[in-house]
Amino acid sequence: MRATKSICLNMVGEALSRLIFQLILVFGIAFMIAGFCFTYLAPGEEVKMLKDLGLTVVAIFGLLLAIYLAVSTIGPEVERRTIYCLMAKPVKRHWFYLGKFLGSMAILAISCLIMGLVLVFALYLKEQAWNWALLGAVSLTYIALVVVNALVMAISTFASPMLATVAGFTFWGLGYTQSYVHQLATHADNPTSRVMLEIMGVLIPDLQRFDLREAVVDLIHVPPSYVYLVTAYGLAYLVVMLAIGIIAFNQKQM
Amino acid sequence: MAVVEIEELTKVYRPFLGGVGVLALDKLSLTIEQGQTFGLVGPNGSGKTTTIKLLLGLLYPNRGKCRLFGRKVFDMQVKDRIGFMPEAPYFYDHLTGEQLLNYYASFFKMSKTQRRERVDELLSMVGMQERRKMLLRHYSRGMLQRIGLAQAMINDPELLILDEPTSGLDPIGSYQIRNLILELKHLHKTIILSSHLLGEVEHLCDQVGLLHRGKLLACGTLGELLPEAKQAHICVQVSEAAQHELEAMGFQGERVDGLLQLAAVPVDQIGPVVDLVRKSGGELYEIHRQRQSLEDFFVQTVRQKEVASE
Amino acid sequence: MIEPNTRKLLIVIALLAWIASYPLLQAIYRNPGYHAEYTEAVMDVRAGGTEAIMAMLGGFRSIAANMLWLKSDQYWHQGGAGWWRMLPVLRTITRLDPHFINAWDTLGWHCAYNLQSDAIPEDKPKWIQAGVDAFQDGIRANPNRYELYASLAWLYHDRLKDYHQAIPVWQQVVGFKDAPLASAHMLAHAYERTWQIDKAVAVWKACLAKHKYDPVAESAIEWWAKHRNDKAYLISLWQRENKLRHGVGLPPIPRPDQAPAARK
């Protein structure tokens, strides 16, 4: 655990010092601020557009960051051979992996929080009211990003960074279509196709469930039970991705 | 007590999708005792780095076993007692030298005070005290090598594995690293030194293992591997008359900077030559018994092996 | 290297977690927090193909809806053919975002007022009906928002002068806690137009009870206190109403005391 904590803190320090992390964050915030300009084009719907754009920016830039962090954990350590010195120390491989993952989680949390607070402040300037429900939407998006991060990290233990990046984006896109797969399964006439669609629906998590943008924008009440269920759902997939990653990393020959 | 025990260790690198594999190590067996400095030499692709990676648990063998301190290499108690310096090390360039050592120290059971003292001691030892607050991205190659050695020493290990420790260094840098290794040797550390620089290995190591295409061609002390010297090189200051007398005895020499250099003097003739120099009132500067160099032995052995395999 | 037992344990944990995700997902779909209408609506998109694909991939649905909203505003300012182009765009927005109230409102109003005025005479009633349908669809998608009820009631009240149709809808609007005071006033006016003066006065009194300062309600109560039984006044109101209906091309209505009170 001592080793995991050290590796996690080192990962956070390294990511914060990297220009690419800073650029992703700055561009994300810049996009959100630019949203002020777009909203003047929308008659009577400035606030809605600002919320939509802001939460989408958090999701998209969060996704970029999640994939970048995942791809830059294991691969570069092996390439630069910095992992050799670590593995010669009393650090088990799975603690190393977990330390890196926790570091990614911490960076993502910091980024989502910063972008979320910028959005809340931007809306305060528009509405003269603090809308903390936005941070609730951001926190569920964060869970989805962590699941993607865990998947890409697992893939990057045995695939190239490019392949892992493509897999990350594909997973995100497919995750968003899972609700439609469920709809098709519900209305399927053929029992075989229904079963196959249900299986497809379990292979990849339904990432739309973590998306509370419409609820926040359209002022729809979200019961706490829904949030707990979605969180548990995200944690289930996180456990699966982490287990796969740890097993793959332990088998990895460096 | 044997610190390193390798028995029939075999490693084959196979492509991910199957196909013909590359035999990197072929039934390697060797033992390294406590306090020995063992040189692992061989041409590129001979299996030196593979052997080291297997000892560190970075690779898994296909067959055979290796043990450190009588335990499996993945045992955390083993990792507490070893240190490793990789070839041409890269470190986390957002850290300073001091932060890097503190980071690696955090993996061991050390109090904050012990950690601080150890870091100070190591920075002094490698001569990096003044650069402790400098970011690693600004370090030169030599500085990185030195900090690499320091991190390998952070836990005061009993076994040190050094992979090309002087690679890419200028003469002064190499000299400094070699002196550090000699210091460690005097502290009775067990050292495994993998290097291309045979002169360095000859200078530092007690035992040498020669790898070629995954096979251990030779292993033993330098005295065992390199033949006893049968000739000597003698350097004297004598008069012209004495030189003529030596030529009459059959020893042709060459005058260089006022000194007479006599090459290839048979070992049993050293006495008569020295007597003549004394009688003539000359001065004896140097007697050097010429032994076959490790490099010559290396090249000769590898060539023999290649011819045999053809 | 990972211990074999640890690896087996990890595999078991991963499988259990994956299996557990199925009932969790089913529980999420059954939870009131899950809104299937977004997914169902996008599945049904006919127009705006690119936006539909955008919406499906990566969760850009709301961004696609906003972009279409800007497009519809552009078409509005174009006028002419632009008004007709607005129609599929607004329909797509409501499918992409069924809770976009303003889009439903604009769609209904645009059909019933703008497109109706631009249509050939034979088609005008169809466009008014299209506006009614749009509001009713919007109400089905958003039963807990008063705005679309208010727009539908206004359509019946102002555009069609069908106060019997307007009354039940105004009643629904007034039932919302956040409905503006004006909607209660409109209900009272609708009762007055249909000569249900007692009900009208009751509504005015309810307004005054709820909002201490309501000069409109006060003066209405005062007025009807004096003219409650003034038949001649009521007839003059009816005649004025028929004049207004004639002006907008609607047929006259029979005198309220002579016509059936309930209309379909």
- Same domain, yes or no: B114 and B253: no
More confident residue, C53 or B214: B214
Is B300 inside any structural domain? Answer: no
The DSSP 8-state label assigned to residue B5 in this structure reads E
Same domain, yes or no, for B279 and B190?
Answer: no
Please name the chains neighbouring B, where neighbouring means 3+ C-beta pairs under 8 angstroms: A, C
Last residue of a domain, one of C143, C174, C195: C143
Residue B65 resides in a domain? yes
pLDDT tens sequence across C104-149: 999 999 999 999 888 888 888 899 999 999 999 999 999 989 999 9
Give the separation between CA A186 and CA C115, rounded to whole angstroms.
38
Whether C12 is covered by a domain: the verdict is no
Task: Give which of B92, B99, B105 is closest to B133, Cα–Cα.
Answer: B99
Contact between chains at A3 and B106 (C-beta distance less than 8 A): yes
| Same structural domain, C108 and C172 | no
Residues B272 and B178 reside in one and the same domain:
no
Same domain, residue pair C95 and C136: yes
CATH number for the domain that contains residue C203: 1.25.40
**Residue B263 lies inside a defined structural domain of this protein:** yes
- For residue C210, count other CB atoms closer than 10 A to its CB: 12
Number of domains into which chain B is organized: 2
pLDDT at site A38:
66
- C110 membership: H or E segment, kind and range: none
Structural domain contains residue C245:
yes
Express each pLDDT in A21-74 by its tens digit: 888 888 888 887 887 776 666 666 778 888 888 898 899 999 999 999 999 988
Element (H, E) at B138: none
Q: List the Cα angle A103/A108/A110 in 5-degree steps.
A: 95
Neighbours of chain C (3+ CB pairs under 8 A): A, B
Question: In b/e form, how buried is each residue of C134-158, taking b as 16+ CB within 10 angstroms?
Answer: bbebbbebbeebbbbbbbbbbbbbe
Per-residue pLDDT, C46: 46
Residues contacting residue A121 through CB under 8 Å, at least 6 positions apart: none
Q: Which of A172, A233, A235, A254 to probe by mutation at the C interface, max C CB count within 10 Å?
A: A233
Which CATH number characterizes residue B167's domain? Answer: 3.40.50.300
Q: In this structure, are C196 and C228 located in the same domain?
A: yes
- How many angstroms separate the CA atoms of A164 and A145, rounded? 15
Residues B209 and B250 grouped into a single domain: no
From the first residue on, what is the mean pLDDT of each consecutive set of 10 residues in chain B (310 residues)? 90 78 88 92 87 92 91 90 88 91 92 92 89 90 89 93 86 85 88 87 87 87 74 86 87 86 83 88 84 75 75
Output the pLDDT for position C47. Answer: 44
The alpha-helical segments, DSSP class H, found in chain C are: 4-30, 36-43, 49-56, 61-78, 81-96, 101-109, 116-118, 124-141, 146-154, 163-174, 181-193, 197-210, 215-227, 231-247
Under 8 Å CB-to-CB from B136, ≥6 apart: which residues? Answer: B91, B92, B93, B94, B95, B96, B97, B100, B144, B147
CATH of the domain at B242: 3.30.70
Whole-model pTM: value is: 0.79
Residues B116 and B162 in one domain: yes
Tell me whether residues A180 and C70 touch, CB distance under 8 A: no
Q: Are residues B8 and B117 in the same domain?
A: yes
pLDDT tens-digit readout, B126-170: 888 888 899 998 998 888 988 999 999 999 999 999 998 888 788
Domain of residue C79 covers 38-143
Q: For C115-132, b where at least 16 C-beta lie within 10 A, e where not — what string?
A: bbeebeeeebeebbebbb
Judgement on whether residues B261 and B149 belong to the same structural domain of the protein: no
What's the start-to-end Cα distance of chain C, in Å?
79
Which ipTM did the prediction report? 0.85
Which residue on chain B is closest to A3 by alpha carbon?
Answer: B107
Which pLDDT score, from 0 to 100, does residue B253 have? 85
- In a domain, residue C264? The reply is yes
| B196 lies in the same domain as B258 | no
Q: Is the pLDDT of residue A79 over 80?
A: yes
Q: What band does A165 get if pLDDT is binned at 50, 70 and 90?
A: very high
Interface of B with C in 92-151 (CB under 8 A): none
Local confidence band at C38 (pLDDT 50, 70, 90 cut-offs): low
Partners of residue C1 in chain B, C-beta under 8 Å? 57, 60, 74
Is the residue at C9 inside a domain? Answer: no
- Predicted confidence (pLDDT) per residue in C167-208, tens digit: 999 999 999 998 999 999 999 999 988 888 899 999 999 998
| H or E stretch covering A208 | none
**CA distance, residue B204 to nearest chain A CA (Å):** 23
- Say which range, A71-75, A214-218, A230-234, B22-26, has the weakest mean pLDDT: A214-218
For tokens 């509405």, what's the residue? A127
Domain end residue (candidates: C119, C143, C167): C143
Residue C260 has what pLDDT? 59
Q: Is residue B163 part of a domain?
A: yes
Boundary of a domain, candidates B225, B242, B259: B225
Query: Is residue B302 included in any domain, yes or no?
Result: no
pLDDT digits (tens, 9 = 90+) for C62-113: 778 888 888 888 888 888 888 888 998 999 889 888 889 999 999 999 999 9
Domain membership of residue A240 as a residue range: 2-251
Q: What part of A 91-150 touches B (C-beta under 8 Å)?
A: 91-92
Say if residue B131 is in the same domain as residue B248: no
Choosing from C115, C143, C171, the residue where a domain stops is C143
| Residues C106 and C187 reside in one and the same domain | no
Query: Would an 8 Å CB–CB cutoff place C73 in contact with chain A?
Result: yes
Beta carbons of B40 and B194 less than 8 angstroms apart: yes
Is A13 at the interface with chain B, CB within 8 A? Answer: yes
Q: In this structure, are B192 and B255 located in the same domain?
A: no
The CA–CA distances, whole Å, from A183 to A144, C19, C21, C38 equal: 21, 21, 18, 11
Q: What percent of chain C has pLDDT over 90?
A: 40
Q: Which two tokens stand for residue C31?
A: 């939870």
Chain A residues lying within 8 Å of B108, measured CB to CB: 89-90
Q: Look at residue B140 and tell me if it is in a domain.
A: yes
The C-alpha angle B294, B297, B301, rounded to 5 degrees, equals 140
Q: What is the mean pLDDT of residues C241-253?
A: 81
Instruction: Say how many domains are in chain A.
Output: 1
Confidence of residue C264 (pLDDT cuts 50, 70, 90): very low
**Per-residue pLDDT at C107:** 95
Would B149 be classed as within a structural domain?
yes
Domain that holds residue B268: 231-290
Size of interface A-B (CB pairs under 8 A): 70
Average pLDDT over residues A155-161: 90
Q: Is C222 inside any structural domain?
A: yes
